[in-house]
Amino acid sequence: MEYRMFGRTGMRVSVLGLGCGGFGGVGSAPELFGKGEDKATAFALMNRAWDEGINYFDTADSYGGGVSETIVGAWLTERKVRDQLILSTKVGYAVPGGPNDQGLSRRHLRQAIEGSLRRLQTDHIDLYVTMEPDAKTAIEETLETMNDLMHAGKVRHIGASNVTAPQLRESLAASDRLEVHRYQSVQNGYSLLERAMEDDVLPLAAQERMAVTPFSPTSGGLLTGKYRSGQAPPPGSRVELRPQPYQHLMTPRTFQAIDALRAAAAERGVDTGALALAWVISHPAVTSALIGPRRVEHFEPWLAAVAIHLSANERDALSSRMDAVAA
């Protein structure tokens, strides 16, 4: 396993992080609570990840309606590796409850951290991440509350997810103005099919020495090649269970680009998904990509990706090749 510095924090994390969004559900979607991995499967996935050297686990209080954090907490208690694990959880989406049980207000953040600590069976979170910006709460209120949680020892570092470069720039400026802790990481979607981060978020993160932890590096599995144009997605797959986030990608152009990726992978003698993931983690600004295997055997291509080191020219050639056939 390869390890990289997590921005300015002094932490070192594996280049692959285990995304735990499938434990007990499929992300934060209430209609899919109970349709994710059960406790036994989740334990097997975490055991494999840990045994392979993955020391960065990412969850959220809303995943599975709290079930994901509960399962991760039970595993941590059983394995007794809390001090060696970089544990990240997110806050902001509604967990079943009242109208104030969401967002990034002072009230909700103080309430949410207690629930996360209880479910995770720990006294601190290494990285506490906002799920997305909250237009109803001033950024100053969020940052000052996060700062209070850090001074109380409940949170070590903070990060932001699903954020634009202007929003990130505003938050960093507000932290400096208020003299409170800054966001130390950014977590957005990034893949060969979703490259918006390259325009401004990745350059800003590099300039500010922030960690970058992309989610969905294979676009929900589309870049593994297991989906085919005109065919129904495999039963139980992410696209079958939760199609909405991927509808904009289900086009002939996308599948032409995937065919080009499949051909490039065959030329190199590697798995299609492994090459897609290698493209993400080979970006110099990327710290660790979050993977979400649903079965233990799904680890194989992701682990193989760590050994595929693409140069800047090779990355550009691959993305250009996919763009050319999809034009």
The domain segmentation of the chain, as residue ranges, is: 3-221+281-312
The yes-or-no verdict on residue 20 having pLDDT over 90 is: yes
Tokens of 187: 């977590």
Instruction: List the single range of 20-29, 131-140, 226-235, 313-322 with lowest mean pLDDT.
Output: 226-235
This prediction has a pTM of: 0.92
27: confidence class by pLDDT, cuts 50, 70, 90? low
Q: Which residues are catalytic?
A: 63
Summarize the confidence of residues 74-86 as an average pLDDT.
96
Contacts of 138 (CB under 8 A, 6+ apart): none
Tokens of 243: 């199609």
Summarize the confidence of residues 159-185 as an average pLDDT.
98
Residue 53's pLDDT is: 98
> Is the CB of residue 101 less than 8 Å from the CB of residue 94?
yes
The yes-or-no verdict on residue 322 having pLDDT over 80 is: yes
Q: 212-242 in b/e burial notation, b at 16+ Cβ within 10 A?
A: bbbbbbbbbbbbbbebeeeeebeeebbbebb
The yes-or-no verdict on residue 317 having pLDDT over 80 is: yes
Please identify, in words, the CATH class of the domain defined by 3-221+281-312: alpha beta
The yes-or-no verdict on residue 237 having pLDDT over 90 is: no
Q: If you average pLDDT over every residue of the chain, what do you get?
A: 91
Residue 29's pLDDT is: 64
How far apart CA 1 and CA 201 sit, in angstroms, is 26
Summarize the confidence of residues 3-17 as an average pLDDT.
97
Residue 326's pLDDT is: 65
14: confidence class by pLDDT, cuts 50, 70, 90? very high
Residue 252's pLDDT is: 83
pLDDT tens by residue, 252-263 = 888 899 999 999
Contacts of 219 (CB under 8 A, 6+ apart): 189, 191, 192, 193, 194, 246, 249
Helix, strand and coil content of the chain, in percent to the nearest 5, comes to 45, 15, 40
